[in-house]
Structure 1
Amino acid sequence: MNTTEIFLIAMTLIFSVPYLIWRLGNTDYWAPLVVVQIIAGIVLGPGVLGAVFPDYYRFVFNPQVIGALNGIAWWAVMVFVMIAGVELDLKKMWEYRRESGITASLALGVPMVFGSAAALFLLWHSSAWMGPKAQGWQFVLGVGMSCAVTALPILILLMEKLAILRQPIGQRILRYASLDDVAIWGVLALILLDWDRVGRQLLFLFGFAIASYLFRRLMRKIPERDRWYAAFIWLSACSYFADWSGLHFMVGAFLAGMVMDGAWFDQDDMDKLRHFVLMMLMPVFFLSTGLRTNWQLGGVAVFGAGLLLLLVSVGGKMAGIHAAGKILKWEQGEASIIGWLLQTKALIMIIFANVLLDKNIITNQTFTALLVMAVLSTMLTVPVVAPKLQKMKQLIFRTS
């Protein structure tokens, strides 16, 4: 077979296996399709089927096919992260700045501290968890932030499923998650700060500020149909220069989206774009993520690390949100619902961890443990939150 035919076999596996599991297994309540796709990526990778059927793995996922898949995955995640940036509503956050600031800071800070403590424990246990190019503080902060991340795009999908996205409580949760999203990428930029390339990075940030001003003026003057093309050109350019500076192309993709106003685009078109990127392109990213999993330290050790990270991430998130609830005098039960929704990890954490792995700050084993944490935390969300919402229906219709 030639490379094209093998590539198409790989694409057939990528789209058919998770869809059939999701549809025939009726997993949507506890494992949405996006979670099944992530798990399928792990199963199709070297850690599971690749270990059981090494000939299959070498044949289907040969270097040429992996190269083609990686190209699709890079573009998919750039578009997805850009959308997350566009959907930030900074004006709304400023309007409710006290409530949003208190909640978001505690929702991010407490699990980051818990996660950093877990990272120190892993580092004490074995240096094999830390990447070869990492300093200790980068590893600890990177793992700590991974435990604090909220997956804004997946949170939107889950709240749509729970029918609260357009309700006041849903909009409040989006404000908290959006503010944390800005902080997450800011911390990532700090972790990736390269003193050997700091001149390039400062030049990029200075040039980005000027280019953003000019870009925003252009976008206000052109019709919407042209704005989409301009947005993708802008995305490519920002991602390139961010990567050139050493910050990573995904940081550039988020910045590219963050300086765009959601009002420039039709909301239905934006929702459709997110939906189709998730359906048509992101499964390839999930597969490429699965190809990077590694159980070299032993399945028990890696899975145990994943459970430890799950415990500190969920526990830290719930502790932070309950503290915010006491300060802001929320109703009983409100903090629990908000906390469980904000602990959703999935996509953004996986993207965050991919960057850490690319930069050799974490190893493949740590990446696999973080992936286990992300999958399990996301699977817990709907089964835990749905019964709580049923008991507190009046909360859904509260004014913000």
Structure 2
Amino acid sequence: MSPDAMITHFVGASALVLVAAHAAGWLARRLKQPYIVGQLSAGIALGPSLLGALAPDAHAALFPSEIGPALTGFAQFALVVFLFAVGYELDLKILGARARTSLTVALASFVVPMAAGCGGALLFRNQLHDLGMPRDPSPAMVVFAGVALSITAVPVLTAIVRENGLSRSVPGVVAVSAAGVLDAVCWTVLAAALMEGGGGGAALDWPWRAVLAVGFVTVMVLAARPVLRRLLWGTRMEPSLRLALLIGFALGSAWVTHSLGLHVIFGALLAGVVVPREEDGTLDPDLLRPLHDVSSLLLPFFFVVSGQSVALNNMDGTGWTVLLVVTVLAVATKIGSGTLAARLGGLDRHDARTVGVLLSARGLTELIALNAGLQAGLLSPPLYTVLVFMALATTLFTQPLLLLVRHLAERDRPAPPAFRTPPSPSGQDGTAPAAPAADVG
């Protein structure tokens, strides 16, 4: 394919990706589902599972292999910008007065799913072998299975909390703050798993990469953060120039972590975390707003690239069985552990159930982790397909389960006493006072 033809194909494919993904996101929101569910569904539909099966010639014409690197590049850029914004917004001070409860919920909703995922990877190794996994999985593969069940999607959870009017409620604050702590733990464990698993073919052994990674984090926190603070607060830099500088900083950080055998996601998150906030501790709207605009515009490319690796037509009976078991485990462990921990933290049973249901949403964060695991060789393509549909299913279930919890709370709420007008003792209502009842004793 000539360069001109490749550019033409890429422009046409980009038009389809943007229109289809955002239209599907709008439809999902109309159906009371998160916007991200529609975009992920569109990405899967444009892959080999639907478009490739129904119209293989059209799929090959729209997404030839020659434009794959360009689509992947756009997807990685969108991912870096999105996670840079996530890191910038991360603020564990939200724990506040509910710190102990939130930390308890975060710990429980990490440990229980992690144990279930690791145990399932060992107990069902024969079934997973039928999905292309080795019969004796490496420690990194086992740990990754646990992380896949432990992750909670903070952006999706935040959107669900906001759309359900829970932003200022006790369960909303506990769920969001616990999810922030939980994801910080999950990203750390995932980084260790990717290092031990080979990091996608990195030249250095994992101990050296771990040492270099610790050194890089130290430099970012101790050196980069003060420099950025002086640069951002000590100069009158135009917002557009500041945005370009910080996105370049995030891309450079992502390149370093990728060179260390990690994924670009870790560098992007770290860059967002070290960027200082305003002097009063608030977020800079001139930075945050365009970051959200750019990432929301380009994230459909990530969903399409992810969807190209989903092969639903290759799922057999074993695959569907594993999908059912994994989805049940993912929902039960999250809701059960989150609810129990919230109850122990002093929440009533309805608020505790709400916390557990909210923590079950996985969405985009799960998909990012799954892509990292697939690229590092910790997942086979069939198991990747299973886990992508698990992430989609758990996110879809969140809103109906929230409605169910709300219905149960309203049903159990005691009915208010019937209103009765008290009799007037002096006949002020225009009637004579009632005569005393006769004594029949």
Superposition TM-score, scaled by structure 1 size: 0.89
User: What residue number does 2:431 align with?
Assistant: none
Which stretch has the larger CA shift, 113-122 or 285-294?
113-122
Q: Greater CA deviation, 82-91 or 67-76?
A: 82-91
Q: 1:265 to 1:239 in 2, by over 3 A?
A: farther
Structure 1 residues 277 and 115, CA gap change in structure 2 (3 angstroms): farther
Residue 289 (structure 1) shift? 0.5
The residue number in structure 1 matching 2:57 is 55
Retained in 2: the 8 A contact 1:85–1:254?
Answer: yes
- What is the aligned partner in structure 2 of residue 398 from structure 1? none
Paired with 1:36 and 1:377, the residues of 2 have a C-alpha distance of 14
* Aligned residue type for 1:89: D
| 2:350 is the alignment partner of 1:348 | no
Q: 1:26 to 1:143 in 2, by over 3 A?
A: closer
Aligned pair in 2 of structure 1 residues 241, 94: CA closer, same or farther (>3 Å)? farther
Q: Which amino acid aligns with 2:261?
A: G
Q: 1:1-400, aligned counterparts within 5 Å?
A: 2-23=5-26, 28-93=30-95, 96-129=98-131, 135-194=137-196, 196-223=205-232, 225=239, 227-263=242-278, 266=283, 268-269=285-286, 272-273=289-290, 275-295=292-312, 297-386=314-403, 388-389=405-406
Unaligned runs of 5+ in 2: 197-203, 234-238, 411-441
Alpha-carbon distance in 2 for matches of 1:46, 1:271? 35
Deviation of 1:187 after TM superposition, in Å, equals 0.6
Find the aligned partners of 2:25 and 2:314 in 1 and give their Cα distance: 30
Q: Which protein is bigger by CA-based radius of gyration?
A: 2
Percent of aligned pairs sharing the same letter: 25
Distance 1:341 1:77, change over 3 A: same
Shift of 1:308: 1.5
Distance 1:178 1:137 in 2: 26
For structure 1, which segment, 2-11 or 133-142, has the greater mean C-alpha deviation from structure 2 after superposition? 133-142
Structure-2 separation of matches of 1:304 and 1:217: 52
Q: Label 1:378 to 1:68 Cα distance change in 2 as closer, same or farther (>3 A).
A: same
Aligned 8 A contact 1:93 1:179 in 2? no
Alpha-carbon displacement from aligned partner over 1:34-68 (angstroms, at most 9, x marks no partner): 11111111111112221332222222111222211
1:133-176 superposed Cα distances (whole Å, 9 cap, x missing partner): 99432222212211111001111111221122244542322210
Segment of structure 1 superposing worse, 158-167 or 54-63: 158-167
The one-letter code matched in structure 2 to 1:243 is H
Cα separation, 1, equivalents of 2:320 and 2:284: 40
Q: Given that residues 152 and 178 in structure 1 are in contact (C-alpha distance below 8 angstroms), is that contact kept between their aligned partners in structure 2? A: yes
The structural deviation recorded for 1:97 is: 4.0
Distance 1:355 1:311 in 2: 23
Give the AA of the match of 1:249.
V
For 1:166 and 1:134, how far apart are their aligned partners in 2?
Answer: 47
Contact 2:258–2:264, Cα closer than 8 Å, also in 1: yes
Measure, in 2, the Cα distance between the counterparts of 1:91 and 1:387.
31
Give the conservation status (yes or no) of the 8 Å contact 1:189–1:247.
yes
In terms of mean alpha carbon deviation, does 384-393 or 86-95 score higher?
384-393
How far is the alpha carbon of 1:235 from its aligned partner?
1.0
- Residues 340 and 385, structure 1, Cα contact 8 Å, conserved in 2: yes
Corresponding residue for 2:432?
none
CA RMSD of aligned residues (A): 2.6
Q: Which residue of 2 aligns with 1:396?
A: none
AA aligned to 2:89 is E
Q: 1:301 to 1:135 in 2, by over 3 A?
A: closer
* CA distance in structure 2 between the partners assigned to 1:389 and 1:273 by the alignment: 36
Q: CA deviation at 1:188?
A: 0.6
Cα deviation, residue 31, structure 1: 3.1
- Structure ranking higher in helix proportion: 1
Note the C-alpha offset of 1:389. Answer: 4.2
Is the 8 Å Cα contact of residues 82 and 254 (structure 1) preserved in structure 2? Answer: yes
User: Deviation string for 1:70-101 (max 9, x for gaps)?
Assistant: 10100111111122222221334486542222
From the superposition, tell whether residues 115 and 207 of structure 1 become closer, same or farther in structure 2 (CA, over 3 Å): closer
Change in Cα spacing, 1:237 to 1:17, as seen in structure 2 (3 Å) is closer
State the 1:321 CA deviation.
1.4
> Matched residues in 2 for 1:13 and 1:84: separation?
27
Relative to the length of structure 2, the TM-score reads 0.81
- Please list every run of 5 or more consecutive structure 1 residues that lacks an aligned counterpart in the other structure: 394-400
Partner SS for 2:348: coil
